[in-house]
């Protein structure tokens, strides 16, 4: 077992690249102890990021939904919450940079000046994902103001499809037949969940009372400050069958939620591949610096978004409607963003898919049992199961082969010999795994 794990770590280490320290030191300046530590802990880092990311995703989705639907406060302004989390992310990244510079202010400032200001072209490259992420983060609030947690998460799994397409277009990553099969299954599962007749009720059952109370209150559909979904008495839950599923507002809200998720999927796929490429193969591979570069633009775009709500802010203040839940959402959103970047650097976008799948199960149960969202129908359970299985199917071993080919293909020192060596390492690793696995099974028997 040990040998198998070592092989996997070796392959991962080489194909995924290097530590933050290594990437700055450059070749020939590695510290053997640190490298060994990273090699020994890469697998546990991956597992840890998987667990932390799935817990973070579930908590985030549930808290966000809670903060938009169950709070007794007046609704907070979405754009301000997004700006707050971007500010927090940048502040945390600056702290990490300071720690990474040995807590010497002069070194921190020098790195900021050289890597962010002087290296303007590399910094500018982050403007694209920054814009998309700010739009996506605003859409996340709109989606969860209009859809239940489970429908949101299952539909959002379509980002695996968009990630695959962008990886193919932008990185030339070839997909194995099993990946195409799992992507087809993914679409089937999402369609089942969407076609599920009960979903019109599932998605908006929690907010219908307020919608009904506001005659023609269309601004709420955008999930903005004027929105009434979190109005007084928002905690009251009406059973889904007490409302007509064809209620026009219900349908419109649901469509708006789904549209927000679809656009987020495209943004997530593109930005994920773009950022992963930058931190693994760009000129600047330091994750901390990349996050700071991203943060600078994200804040600029988030401020522009806030200016669209200037009238509401002038009337009732920037922090109107903020509750403890809102602050927790801001905190978890910021922490989650940094966690996502760590996963992209030390694992990949596929691992992110796994994490979300696990969190679907957790948040579906909690949103049903604790938040009063409607109970899952059989069709929903089947659809969600297909989506989760397809995610796992997508992440099975052959993906590594294509990753290795792809990463070696893009590496400056790529050679057919290197590709063969890595694939051989992977193969022997798999053989060892199978061998050890059957040996263990024999022992168990």
Residues at the contact surface with ligand C5P, assessed by CB under 6 A: 89, 133, 137, 268, 272, 275, 291, 294, 337, 340-341, 352
Rounded distance, CA 377 to CA 197, Å?
Answer: 9
Rounded to 5 degrees, φ, ψ at 256 are -65, -45
Query: Does residue 86 contact residue 259 with C-beta atoms inside 8 Å?
Result: no
Based on CB atoms, which residue is closest to ligand C5P, 12 or 268?
268
Give the Cβ contact number of residue 428 at 10 Å: 14
* Cβ–Cβ under 8 Å, residues 296 and 74: no
254 CB contacts (<8 Å, ≥6 apart)? Answer: 146, 147, 199, 200, 203, 204
Residue 198 vs 337, nearer CB to ligand C5P: 337
| Cβ-contact 185, 389 below 8 angstroms | yes
Three-state DSSP class for residue 265:
helix
Report the candidate in 225, 279, 227, 281 with the shortest Cα–Cα distance to residue 253.
227
Q: Angle, to 10 degrees, between the axis of helix 287-307 and the axis of helix 324-346?
A: 140
In whole angstroms, give the CA distance from residue 346 to residue 53: 13
DSSP class of 68: H
- Which residue's C-beta sits nearest to ligand C5P? 337
For 44, the token pair is 């546990």
The token duo for 393 is: 């199917």
Identify which of residues 388 and 426 has a Cβ nearer to ligand C5P in the complex. Answer: 388
Helix (H) / strand (E) containing 260: helix 248-281
């Amino acid at each position: 077992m040990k040998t198998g794990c070592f092989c996997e770590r070796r392959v991962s280490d080489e194909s995924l690249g290097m530590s933050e320290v290594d990437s700055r030191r450059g070749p020939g300046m590695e510290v053997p102890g640190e490298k060994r530590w990273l090699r020994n802990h890469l697998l546990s880092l991956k597992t840890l990021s998987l667990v932390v990311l799935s817990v973070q995703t579930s908590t985030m989705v549930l808290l966000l939904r809670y903060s938009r639907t169950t709070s007794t406060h007046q609704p907070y302004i979405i754009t301000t919450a997004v700006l707050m989390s971007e500010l927090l992310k940048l502040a945390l990244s600056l702290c990490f940079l300071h720690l990474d510079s040995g807590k010497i202010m002069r070194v921190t400032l020098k790195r900021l000046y050289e890597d962010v200001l002087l290296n303007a072209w590399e910094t500018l490259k982050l403007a694209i994902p920054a814009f998309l992420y700010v739009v996506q983060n605003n859409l996340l609030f709109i989606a969860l103001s209009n859809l239940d947690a489970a429908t949101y998460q299952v539909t959002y799994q379509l980002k695996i499809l968009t990630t695959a397409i962008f990886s193919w277009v932008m990185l030339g990553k070839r997909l194995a037949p099993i990946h195409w099969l799992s992507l087809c299954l993914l679409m089937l599962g999402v369609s089942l969940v969407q076609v599920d007749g009960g979903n019109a009720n599932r998605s908006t059952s929690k907010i219908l009372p307020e919608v009904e109370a506001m005659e023609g209150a269309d601004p709420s559909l955008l999930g903005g400050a004027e929105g009434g979904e979190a109005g007084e008495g928002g905690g009251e839950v009406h059973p889904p069958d007490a409302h007509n599923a064809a209620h026009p507002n219900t349908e419109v809200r649901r469509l708006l939620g789904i549209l927000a998720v679809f656009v987020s999927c495209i943004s997530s796929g593109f930005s994920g591949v773009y950022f992963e490429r930058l931190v693994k193969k760009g000129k600047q591979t330091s994750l901390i610096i990349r996050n700071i570069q991203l943060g600078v633009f994200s804040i600029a775009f988030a401020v522009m978004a806030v200016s669209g709500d200037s009238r509401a802010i002038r009337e009732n203040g920037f922090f109107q409607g903020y509750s403890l839940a809102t602050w927790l959402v801001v905190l978890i959103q910021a922490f989650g963003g940094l966690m996502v970047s760590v996963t992209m650097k030390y694992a990949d976008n596929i691992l992110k898919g796994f994490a979300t799948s696990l969190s679907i199960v957790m948040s579906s149960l909690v949103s049903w049992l604790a938040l009063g969202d409607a109970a899952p129908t059989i069709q929903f359970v089947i659809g969600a199961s297909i989506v989760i299985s397809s995610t796992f199917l997508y992440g099975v071993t052959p993906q590594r082969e294509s990753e290795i080919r792809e990463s070696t293909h893009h590496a400056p020192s790529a050679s057919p010999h290197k590709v063969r060596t890595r694939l051989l390492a992977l193969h022997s690793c798999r053989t060892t795994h199978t061998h050890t696995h059957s040996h263990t099974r024999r022992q168990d028997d």
